[in-house]
Amino acid sequence: MRKKITWIVVADGARARFLRSEGWGHGLTQALDQAMIADNRPSHEIGSDRPGRTFSSGTGHPSGMEPKVDWHRFEKTQFAKEVAKAVEKAAIAGEFDRLVLVAPPQALGDLRGALGGNAQAKIVAELGKDLTHLPLHELEPRIAEVAPV
């Protein structure tokens, strides 16, 4: 009988680690050779350099317009799509049987929404916390609360 492979994706809006477990007592290992890290640039480098200007109809004086896009939020959403693409590709290739998502609530929602149907069908647990900063040995007991590792 083939072992059930679980992938654990530990992410936030700018970093993602892909871990693998073969069940209780087997611990966690790296699923991919390296983590994904987003290019975390300041807002003024992501979007336009300055907001547009408009003239007030009452006074005729120019005033600045607030940007309609939160560029940091936009970048985090784009990063979630890149992570989801890597997970979906692995799901299609049959590299795992179960999927656990670990991310802060907003990043978790972005990631879940960006996953394709193959990966979504394999989700067995989610943990809405930012654990990206934890070393592997501290991560295992936290993930064991929701999934076998």
What's 79's domain CATH number? 3.30.420.60
Q: Whole-structure pTM over 0.85, yes or no?
A: no
Report yes or no on 59 lying in a domain: no
At 121 the three-state DSSP class reads coil
Report the number of distinct structural domains present in the chain: 1
In this structure, what DSSP letter does residue 4 have?
A: P
* pLDDT tens digits in sequence order for the chain, 149 residues long: 567 899 999 999 899 999 998 876 677 778 776 677 876 655 555 555 555 555 555 565 665 556 577 777 888 899 999 999 999 999 999 999 999 999 999 999 999 999 999 999 999 999 999 999 999 889 888 988 887 77
Compute the distance between CA of residue 125 and CA of residue 143 in angstroms, rounded to an integer: 10
pLDDT at 32: 75
Compute the distance between CA of residue 84 and CA of residue 142 in angstroms, rounded to an integer: 22
Report yes or no on 122 lying in a domain: yes
Report yes or no on 14 lying in a domain: yes
Compute the distance between CA of residue 131 and CA of residue 103 in angstroms, rounded to an integer: 7
Report yes or no on 61 lying in a domain: no
Compute the distance between CA of residue 35 and CA of residue 68 in angstroms, rounded to an integer: 32
Q: b/e for 49-59, b at 16 or more Cβ within 10 A?
A: eeeeeeeeeee
List the domain range (segments joined by +) for residue 126.
6-48+70-144
Report yes or no on 85 lying in a domain: yes
- Mutual orientation of helices 105-114 and 71-92 as an angle, nearest 10°? 50
Report yes or no on 53 lying in a domain: no
At 21 the three-state DSSP class reads strand
pLDDT at 55: 57
Backbone angles phi, psi at 78, to 5 degrees: -65, -40
- The two beta strands, 98-102 and 123-127, are parallel
